[in-house]
Structure 1
Amino acid sequence: MINTKRTGQWLQIVVPREWDGLTVNQLFRETWQAPKKLTHQFRTENKILCEGNRVNWNLPLTLGTTLQLHLFEEEAPQFQPFYQELSVLFEDEHVLIVNKPPFINTHPNDPINENNTLINAATFYLLTKGESANVRQIHRLDRDTSGAILFAKHALAGAILDKMLEQRKIKRTYIAAVHGLLKQKKGTLNMPIGRDRHHAVRRRVSQSGQAAITHFQVIHENKQKKISYLKCWLETGRTHQIRVHLSHFGHPLVGDTLYGGEPIINRQALHAAKLEFFHPFTQEFIEIHAPFTDLPEISKMIDISKM
């Protein structure tokens, strides 16, 4: 684990063994893979010090020396603050993980006229704590899907986490209840997904679509009701990916009427149950479990903490 400490608007980092001999330029471009524009901003605005002095971006770092990064400056919020109770699963100076309830959008489709979304609520939450309110969403969940969502609190954390998500270094595990009993108890659905030309919202499996890979494993069955409970994890993050794949596979989500599910519950039975990644600054392994806030008929059968 990397030794870090916040001091006011600065983050102090003690150079670990794995950074010994790297330059700050390499740290930004290779280790963190930060965007060029953001890297240029840190360089030109002198936002990095070494032992209290302006750093030379091209000199090797030495084990045990202290870097200071200016990360926590005040920013105007990009989204209107909106009060809603948040279930915070994990939080530090860099990231915020929230257990999203169903029936709320992750972000506004119209930022001016829509403010009752999860990112608006996260903005309000941070403002009440006296923190910068320019929260950054790393991934999203459909309106009726519940579970863990990851936000970044500042630009560098957002950039690193975006790259980690792109490189599949953030693992998201879902619980899904589907119609039917699966003959194949474990497998991978590797089918490209594109828009449905005949429906504004629907997606479909399409050879001309974007690559999409979903892994699944049956973890429980209700043979009487012919419902299977699956653990699913993604290698890609296409819109409606799990819903489209499982419907095409012949086992639509319970409650997902858009993709052939029966409305025996009031939403699609999909929950983002677990989030795993290595912290972008401390390298601590973060493993977060998100409990169900509804659907007791599922939560009583599935112990999320053992996933």
Structure 2
Amino acid sequence: MISWKRKGEWMELSSPIPGWSPADADSCEKLALHVPVPQKLYHKLARGGGVKLQGGRPMLRLFQSEKSPYVPEYAELDVLFEDDFCLVINKPAGMSVHPSEAGQQGTLAAAVAFYYESTGQACSVRHIHRLDRDTTGAVLYAKNEWAHLLLDEAMREKRIERIYTGVAEGMLASAAGVIREPIGRDRHHSGKRRVTPGGDAAVTHYTVLDKSREASLLELRLETGRTHQIRVHLSHLGHPLWGDSLYGAANTWTGRQALHGKTLLFHHPVSQESISVSAPLPEDFVLLLSKLRIY
């Protein structure tokens, strides 16, 4: 595992790299043998004096002060994980991850901007993935450009695993399965998606954890990240999420769908340590399970 120390705006690798010098033409390639390196950013840092050798150890200026693109707004945040590169927040229901229109307030992005400001961290707000407004659970943020590039690449290459907990109406026919149905826009309903032959490839894995006559408690894993993917796929099976009126649920709940982003599994963008972060089920979700006699 790679280790480092933060020294102000600089990251210092804890161990020397024999023969490495920032003046070498192949310094980026040599460094990449020891630590993940976004090449374009490395060369940008090098041109600006942001790569140096001190005491035999490589140093990179990764923690430069940045301004948030969002106006900070106070909100209580449940921080699940944090270090110099990553932040994971347990998003509550009813909060958009970022504004969908100019001037929108009450977003998670604005709350994270306030959190950074109030804790003396001059970071921009960079989310790596999103959750629907009414879906709760873990959301991953990168705290600098280096981490953002590496985590974004990991997300594109499906190396970040997202595990959800959901309650679907009725009893599914199989105890486990894979839904492979393309998803596209619904031409008749703005903001809605549907299974359609011309849509984007979408793959959802599900496992039934428990069930009653009325509902099934599911663990859901995504291979792809299409808008409303879980909601569309379960509705297509004839078992929409409990409370998801947009996708045909017959049962009302608290004005939202019963879906929670429970666990994120990813490798740290620098140390490559395996990280697992889980968000506890919200109180209304626990109460729903109790009402349905599902545990």
TM-score by length of 2: 0.90
Instruction: Tell me which of 191, 209, 220 is aligned to 1:219.
Output: 209
Measured against aligned partners, the alpha-carbon deviations of 1:90-119 in whole angstroms (never above 9, x if no partner) come to 001111100000001000112x41131001
Q: Helix, strand or coil for the counterpart of 1:265?
A: coil
The structure-2 alpha-carbon separation of the partners of 1:114 and 1:24, relative to structure 1 and needing over 3 Å to count, comes to same
* In structure 2, distance between residues paired with 1:248 and 1:178: 12
Q: Helix, strand or coil for the counterpart of 1:173?
A: strand
What residue in structure 1 maps to residue 23 of structure 2?
none
Q: Helix, strand or coil for the counterpart of 2:45?
A: helix
1:119-134 alignment to 2 at 5 Å?
119-134=109-124
Query: Which residues of structure 2 form unaligned runs of 5+?
Result: 21-25
Instruction: Tell me which of 169, 172, 189 is aligned to 1:179.
Output: 169
Amino acid at match of 1:50: L
* In structure 2, distance between residues paired with 1:211 and 1:34: 28
Identity fraction in percent: 42
* In structure 1, distance between residues paired with 2:288 and 2:262: 12
The Cα of 1:23 is off from its aligned counterpart by 4.4
Report if aligned partners of 2:162, 2:221 keep a CA contact under 8 Å in 1: yes
What residue in structure 2 maps to residue 230 of structure 1?
218
What residue in structure 2 maps to residue 42 of structure 1?
45
Amino acid at match of 1:284: E
What residue in structure 2 maps to residue 79 of structure 1?
70
Query: Which residues of structure 1 form unaligned runs of 5+?
Result: 53-64
Instruction: Tell me which of 85, 90, 95 is aligned to 1:99.
Output: 90
Report if aligned partners of 1:172, 1:274 keep a CA contact under 8 Å in 2: yes
What residue in structure 2 maps to residue 250 of structure 1?
238
Q: CA RMSD in A?
A: 2.3
TM-score by length of 1: 0.86
* In structure 2, distance between residues paired with 1:278 and 1:116: 30
Amino acid at match of 1:76: K
* In structure 2, distance between residues paired with 1:208 and 1:14: 51
The Cα of 1:48 is off from its aligned counterpart by 1.6
The structure-2 alpha-carbon separation of the partners of 1:105 and 1:163, relative to structure 1 and needing over 3 Å to count, comes to same
The alignment status of 1:287 with 2:276, answered yes or no, reads yes
Amino acid at match of 1:271: H
The alignment status of 1:277 with 2:281, answered yes or no, reads no
Q: Helix, strand or coil for the counterpart of 1:103?
A: coil
The alignment status of 1:25 with 2:29, answered yes or no, reads yes
Q: Helix, strand or coil for the counterpart of 1:113?
A: coil
Measured against aligned partners, the alpha-carbon deviations of 1:41-88 in whole angstroms (never above 9, x if no partner) come to 223112122336xxxxxxxxxxxx522110111111111101000000
Amino acid at match of 2:14: V
* In structure 2, distance between residues paired with 1:48 and 1:253: 50
List, as ranges, runs of 4+ consecutive aligned residues in structure 1 with deviation greater than 3 Å: 14-17, 25-33, 298-303
Measured against aligned partners, the alpha-carbon deviations of 1:181-233 in whole angstroms (never above 9, x if no partner) come to 1111111111111101111011011111111111110001012xx20010001
Amino acid at match of 1:101: P
The alignment status of 1:109 with 2:112, answered yes or no, reads no
1:181-220 alignment to 2 at 5 Å?
181-220=171-210
The structure-2 alpha-carbon separation of the partners of 1:291 and 1:66, relative to structure 1 and needing over 3 Å to count, comes to same
Report if aligned partners of 2:182, 2:196 keep a CA contact under 8 Å in 1: yes
The structure-2 alpha-carbon separation of the partners of 1:302 and 1:290, relative to structure 1 and needing over 3 Å to count, comes to farther
The structure-2 alpha-carbon separation of the partners of 1:66 and 1:217, relative to structure 1 and needing over 3 Å to count, comes to same
The structure-2 alpha-carbon separation of the partners of 1:30 and 1:50, relative to structure 1 and needing over 3 Å to count, comes to closer
